[in-house]
Amino acid sequence: MSLMQRLFNFRGGLHLDYRKDMSTRHPIRVAPVPPQLVLPLSQHAGAPAKPVVKVGERVLRGQTIAQPDGFVSVPIHASSSGTVVAIESRPIPHVSGLAAPCIVIDTDGRDESLPAPEWAPVDDFSALDAKTLRETVRRAGIAGLGGAGFPSFIKLSPGRSVETLIINGAECEPYISCDQQLMAERADEIVGGVQVILQAIGAPHCLIGVEDNKPDAIAALRAAAAQDERIQVRVVLTRYPQGGEKQLIQTLTGREVPSEGLPLDIGLVVHNPGTARAVYRAVRHAEPLTARIVTVTGGVVAQPQNFEARIGTPMQFLIEQAGGYVQPPGRLLMGGPMMGFALPSDALPVIKSTNCILAAAPGELRPDEAAMPCIRCGACQEACPVNLLPQQLYWHARGGEFDKTRALNLFDCIECGCCAQVCPSHIPLVQYYRHAKTEIWAEDREKRKADAARERHEARQARLEREEREKEEARARKKAQLAARKADADSSEAPPAAGATPADGTDDPVAAAIAAAKAKKAAAQTADGSAATDDPVARAIAAAKAKKAASTDNSNATTPADDPVARAIAAAKAKKAAAAAGGPAEAPVVRPRKAPPSDDAVAAAIAAAQARKAAKAAGTEPADAPPADDPVARAIAAAKARKAAAEQAQDAADPVAQAIAAAKAKKAAREATTAPASDDPVAKAIAEAKAKKAAKEATASDNADDPVARAIAAAKARKAAKDAAATPADDDPVARAIAAAKAKKAAREAADKPDGAS
Amino acid sequence: MRLSSPFLPVAASVGSVMRDVLLALLPGIVVYVLLFGPGVLRNIAIAVAACLLFEAIALWLRGRPLRPFLSDGSALVTGVLLALTLPPIAPWWIAVVGSLFAIGLGKQVYGGLGYNPFNPAMVGYVVLLISFPVQMTAWPALQPVWDSAPDAVSAATALDHVRTQLALDRTLTEISGDAAIGWAAGAGWEWIALAWLGGGLYMLWRGTIRWQIPAGMLAGLTLIALPFWAADPDRYASPLFHWLAGATLLGAFFIATDPVSAATTPRGRLLYGALIGVLVYVIRTWGGYPDGVAFAVLLLNICAPTIDRYTQPRVYGHTRRESEP
Ligand code: SF4
Ligand code: SF4
């Protein structure tokens, strides 16, 4: 082993009360098979898996019961034998506290494995190529066991040369000891996994970083890795958050992962020891990931310890295995006390990312308390391992100034909780940061939408102006020509009109005029077609416009019906316009998204036809809407209807739109669930700030020149005023909840506005 | 239910921070009493009572809960700090008026704890100094408890003495032998200053305050005092004199470090402290007032947001340049 063990350090961080020895008194125990397994389809980051078994089907241990859906996804395997009794939504352990689809298996106690594994075990994996290894890891359903649950095979396909593999054995959160015991008791399997991963990513060596409060783990790993000089065990200081990926990288290499980048950007790949072991077992023993080590601990657990538990085991079953509760728990957490999250109950399954179940006694953890104002003491800044300014972040997050939080590098925050831990005012800082991040993501989404809408709007505006201009020019030219014709009726040859292409070389000025008009129009149409890009709504609007233009032209033109020449011209033009607009009703109805590229005039016409149909749905409705008594309500209704119609027209064929709609629905659902829980002081504070801001914006936009926007603004102002009236009822949680919900709604509408206005 | 991590219990609270500050002030107060009699205790009692009363009234007027904000200790600390800046022989109402302005104008009008841009005690002090210059500049002579023959007369402070004597064209070398100067910077006052220093070091050790502001302030003061003193020690007092005279050490550890009104970034705090140090020297040497700590602190309070803006730390994973605003 190299003597060169220079360690670096990350800034900030904390010494915490680790309380790990509670759960390390017993060796890891293999938990029995529970009577029922609940396997969520989404246990990893990315798309949920798709079930491939049916209710009533018998499954065996290790059998694939759900297949990955998309690239960032992994399969799920039955963790024991039994019968699938349900595929339905069940509560899962997730920050959101929501339910999600799960496969429920009633076990039969026989724990029967597949007769033959789904792939072949390999003794000497050094002969395997990287691709096979990755595929095996994927098929084994391995997702990062450290907590984030990112599909591991992706990190095995770096797509560039990797300098060093880092195994993150710095389990720095208090209470959790699953990695520690795994390293101490299964070091050889971890080292085996390291060797597989090195092989797969083609890295020359590996650093295993272990905190100095885990001497057993260090000794075991050193012994196991003694034969492989590529692998070094590095002892690092016990300091929270040493196990943060970025912090451990800094400690071991002295380098920093670039902001918003990945360790891979500096030639590093980081894995968790549990993941390494799972990789080993998948390759060497052809075992999919059906179990993991889980720490069951906390002041109310009779015998805190680590279990090797089947994925899907109900948490209360594991707690019973640990002797049950000695008293009712004050709080249940999944993960550690610094970064874990509260669980509503213990009737939730162990999933691939469940590293710890913490059942704390009342008073063991932080009591509920009101936060005091920030006194700007700077304790948070000193503790922040990322060198952010938590106090300023808090200030702006609280005020709803999310753009400022972003400028203060909010997105570099690793949510380690150091700042909140040292804050003498007991402000739930991390909660504010999470909230701000969520808001910014939502805003970004809305902004992207709004940008698209604005572009559509501007394109339309430009087109309208151009059309108007051209119509004027054409009319002027027509008049001039008619005058000229009358003047020189008999003798003179009228010179071709400027810009007109002499049609068929004819010297008939009328024909020339018609030709000129046609050419102009065609050119315009082509231009229109290409301007309409591939956006169906823009196309729809264009088509509607064109049709309308055509009909007005028609009526204009038919008035001077006694002039045959004018009539002829008008007719020609109308025909042309109709054709361009897709006039014939029997034009093929193709879905807008599939419209051919519009640089071809015919294609443009077809596209226009399709679009016209959409336009009927999208464009006409608001104009026809019966005038309600309240002009504001009317304006809003119209704008909303238009928006809804536009979305409708757009959605069916467009998966992106669908996804956004789904996300929006989800968000709405989430907000609906969280809003009543508005005794949450953070939500309340931010909601208040937002309501105020909305009111301000509403008044500010009064001078907008778009009547719809103005109407909405006015309505919003009214609403904000109502909210403002509601907010002084500060002490009443119901009133507060309502105010918060209202403010959120106002904010949403504010974000929608650009759409409505276009 | 607490909705978000971290869930570990915390040790510190605003109250515990304030208690630490009071504890750190204790040695200085004891020395003060020993050398100048119990006048300062009377001032402390009056100012603390008045501060708490005005705080309670303001909270009540603003419809805020009384208990958490009265028990956080911040009004208490303001009262004590204000009292420590008052002459021990000042009339009782001085402390009351000062408290009114400190709590009312210095703190509550801005929204109370955490929102005041200025150091409340210094607001109170400056209002008093401007309004009642006579009462605010009458300082007692050294009157140690072990000296049984008290003569209860007022005496000029070292800063005052130096100022008036320099104006009479005496050199500092001549002045330094005067009784008012003591062994370094004012008979008796030097000891109190050293006790403040001790308390400050205690707070540093406890982590109650961070080192940047006191270090910056003392460094700033030293760096500007040193060249002048080296060039002309007859006209310009030594850095040691400036350290121990007036409110330098009390200011460096207890006043400039008031976190609410100070800069918050680490580099910003260093700069903030240094500029206070420089200003203190400038005001003492060329300004119209004998001491400059209060004015310097208030002036820098104004600059704190700007200083913060230009001293953002380099964030993990960012290069230095992109972190600058
Ligand atoms: S630790 Fe808390 S009180 Fe202190 S500056 Fe940070 S947020 Fe404010
Ligand atoms: S939670 Fe974010 S801001 Fe707070 S200490 Fe951790 S990284 Fe810094």
ipTM summary value: 0.84
Mean pLDDT computed over A616-621: 39
Instruction: Give A518 or B102, the one with higher predicted confidence.
Output: B102
- Tell me the residues of chain A between 130 and 189 that have a Cβ less than 8 Å away from chain B: 174
- Considering the domain architecture, whether residues A444 and A346 belong to the same structural domain is answered as no
**pLDDT of the residue at A177:** 94
- Considering the domain architecture, whether residues A471 and A523 belong to the same structural domain is answered as no
Q: Is A410 in the pocket of ligand 2 (CB under 6 A)?
A: no
pLDDT band with cut points at 50, 70 and 90 for residue A689: low
Mean pLDDT computed over A80-85: 95
Q: Confirm or reject contact between B13 and chain A (CB < 8 A).
A: yes
Of A360, A380, A411, the residue at which a domain comes to its end is A360
Which of A11, A260, A389 to mutate to probe the B interface, most B CBs <10 Å? A389
Give the number of other Cβ atoms within 10 Å of residue B194's Cβ: 17
| Residues whose CB falls within 8 Å of the CB of residue A656, separated by 6 or more in sequence, listed in order | none
- Does A419 appear as a known binding residue? yes
Q: Is the pTM of this model over 0.90?
A: no
**Dihedral angle computed from the Cα positions of residues A391, A394, A399 and A403, in that order, rounded to the nearest 10 degrees:** 100
pLDDT score of A363 more than 90: no
**Interatomic CA distance for residues B50 and B100, integer angstroms:** 7
CA distance B320 to chain A (A): 12
- Considering the domain architecture, whether residues A576 and A622 belong to the same structural domain is answered as yes
Phi, psi for residue A143 in degrees, rounded to 5: -125, 145
Q: Tell whether B296 is covered by a domain.
A: yes
**Interatomic CA distance for residues A435 and A428, integer angstroms:** 11
pLDDT score of A507 more than 60: no
pLDDT score of A258 more than 50: yes
Q: Tell whether B298 is covered by a domain.
A: yes
- How does pLDDT run across A482-505, given as a tens digit for each residue? 777 766 665 544 444 444 444 444
Ligand 2 atom, smallest distance to A416 CA: 6
Q: Tell whether A654 is covered by a domain.
A: yes
Q: Tell whether B160 is covered by a domain.
A: no
pLDDT band with cut points at 50, 70 and 90 for residue A32: very high
Instruction: Give A173 or A667, the one with higher predicted confidence.
Output: A173
**pLDDT of the residue at A322:** 94
Mean pLDDT computed over A519-534: 45
Q: Which domain holds residue A737?
A: 509-752
- Tell me the residues of chain B between 233 and 292 that have a Cβ less than 8 Å away from chain A: 259-260, 262, 264-266, 269
**Interatomic CA distance for residues A100 and A97, integer angstroms:** 10
pLDDT score of A543 more than 60: no
Reported as type and span, the H/E element at residue A89 is strand A82-91
Mean pLDDT per 10-residue segment, chain B (325 residues): 69 86 94 87 94 91 82 89 90 92 88 87 92 83 69 66 72 68 70 93 91 95 92 83 86 91 91 94 84 90 90 82 44
- Considering the domain architecture, whether residues A561 and A689 belong to the same structural domain is answered as yes
Which of A368, A375, A406 to mutate to probe the B interface, most B CBs <10 Å? A375
pLDDT score of A417 more than 70: yes
pLDDT band with cut points at 50, 70 and 90 for residue A5: low
**pLDDT of the residue at B27:** 94
- Considering the domain architecture, whether residues A414 and A478 belong to the same structural domain is answered as yes
Q: Tell whether A499 is covered by a domain.
A: no
- Tell me the residues of chain B between 116 and 155 that have a Cβ less than 8 Å away from chain A: none
Residues of A in contact with B7 (CB under 8 A): 331, 333, 337-338, 340, 342, 360, 365-366
Q: Tell whether A2 is covered by a domain.
A: no
- Does A206 appear as a known binding residue? no
CA distance A378 to chain B (A): 6
CA distances from A110 to A29, A32, A61, A285 (A): 19, 11, 10, 20
pLDDT score of A526 more than 70: no
Strand order in the sheet with A231-236: A231-236, A205-211, A164-169, A268-271
In terms of Cβ atoms closer than 10 Å to its own Cβ (0-12, 13-18, 19+), residue A621 is middle
Residue of A418, A427, A429 to test ligand 2 pocket, by largest number of atoms within 8 Å of CB: A418
Mean pLDDT computed over A528-552: 45
Of B136, B154, B173, the residue at which a domain comes to its end is B136
- Considering the domain architecture, whether residues B131 and B205 belong to the same structural domain is answered as no
Q: Tell whether B233 is covered by a domain.
A: yes
Pocket around ligand 1: residues whose beta carbon is below 6 Å from it? Answer: A 374-380, 390-391, 394, 422-425, 427, 429
**Interatomic CA distance for residues A459 and A388, integer angstroms:** 42
Q: Which domain holds residue B294?
A: 196-310
- Residue A493 is encoded by which pair of tokens? 């040859």
Q: Which ligand is nearest to the CA of A338?
A: 2
Residues of A in contact with B316 (CB under 8 A): 10-11, 246, 250, 256-257, 259, 385-387, 412
Q: Tell whether B93 is covered by a domain.
A: yes
Please state whether beta strands A291-297 and A305-310 pair in parallel, antiparallel, or not at all (unpaired).
antiparallel
**pLDDT of the residue at A521:** 52
CA distances from A277 to A156, A483, A611 (A): 14, 92, 56
Of B86, B103, B136, the residue at which a domain comes to its end is B136
Q: Tell whether A498 is covered by a domain.
A: no
- Considering the domain architecture, whether residues A626 and A645 belong to the same structural domain is answered as yes
- Considering the domain architecture, whether residues A320 and A392 belong to the same structural domain is answered as no
**pLDDT of the residue at A74:** 92
Q: Tell whether B218 is covered by a domain.
A: yes
CA distances from B195 to B88, B140, B254, B283, B305 (A): 18, 19, 12, 24, 32
- How does pLDDT run across A162-180, given as a tens digit for each residue? 999 999 999 999 999 999 9
pLDDT band with cut points at 50, 70 and 90 for residue A649: very low
In terms of Cβ atoms closer than 10 Å to its own Cβ (0-12, 13-18, 19+), residue A744 is buried
Range ranked top by mean pLDDT from A8-17, A220-229, A624-633: A220-229
In chain A, % of residues over pLDDT 90:
39
**pLDDT of the residue at A1:** 36
Q: Which ligand is nearest to the CA of B269?
A: 1
Of A341, A360, A379, the residue at which a domain comes to its end is A360
Residue of A250, A422, A428 lying closest to B12 (CB–CB): A422
Contact across the interface for A365 and B260, Cβ inside 8 Å: no
Q: Tell whether A389 is covered by a domain.
A: yes
Reported as type and span, the H/E element at residue A293 is strand A291-297
Residue nearest atom 8 in ligand 2 by C-alpha distance? A384
pLDDT score of A603 more than 70: no
Of B136, B169, B186, the residue at which a domain comes to its end is B136
**pLDDT of the residue at A696:** 55
Number of domains, chain A: 3
Q: Tell whether B161 is covered by a domain.
A: no
Mean pLDDT computed over A501-511: 46
Instruction: Give B109 or A726, the one with higher predicted confidence.
Output: B109
**pLDDT of the residue at B1:** 41
In chain A, % of residues over pLDDT 70:
63
- Share the mean pLDDT of chain A: 74
- Considering the domain architecture, whether residues B27 and B128 belong to the same structural domain is answered as yes
Mean pLDDT computed over A56-61: 94
Collapsing DSSP to helix, strand or coil, A166 comes out as: strand
Instruction: Give A628 or B71, the one with higher predicted confidence.
Output: B71
- Considering the domain architecture, whether residues A447 and A558 belong to the same structural domain is answered as no
- Considering the domain architecture, whether residues B20 and B114 belong to the same structural domain is answered as yes
Contact across the interface for A256 and B9, Cβ inside 8 Å: no
CATH number for position A387: 1.10.1060
**pLDDT of the residue at A682:** 66
Q: Tell whether A332 is covered by a domain.
A: yes
- Does A172 appear as a known binding residue? no
- Considering the domain architecture, whether residues A608 and A704 belong to the same structural domain is answered as yes
- Considering the domain architecture, whether residues A568 and A663 belong to the same structural domain is answered as yes
pLDDT score of A693 more than 70: no
- Does A102 appear as a known binding residue? no
Q: Tell whether A392 is covered by a domain.
A: yes
Distance from Cα B14 to the centre of ligand 1, integer Å: 10
Smallest CA–CA distance from A682 into chain B, residue: B3
CA distances from B247 to A62, A751, B192, B237, B242 (A): 76, 54, 10, 15, 9
Q: Tell whether B40 is covered by a domain.
A: yes
Residue of B7, B72, B325 lying closest to A337 (CB–CB): B7
Range ranked top by mean pLDDT from A233-242, A464-473, A592-601: A233-242
Contact across the interface for B6 and A408, Cβ inside 8 Å: no
Of A294, A325, A360, the residue at which a domain comes to its end is A360
Q: Tell whether A153 is covered by a domain.
A: yes
- Considering the domain architecture, whether residues A356 and A375 belong to the same structural domain is answered as no
CB burial string B4-26: b at 16+ within 10 A, e below: bbbbbebebbbbbbbebbeebbe
- Does A374 appear as a known binding residue? yes
- Considering the domain architecture, whether residues A124 and A219 belong to the same structural domain is answered as yes
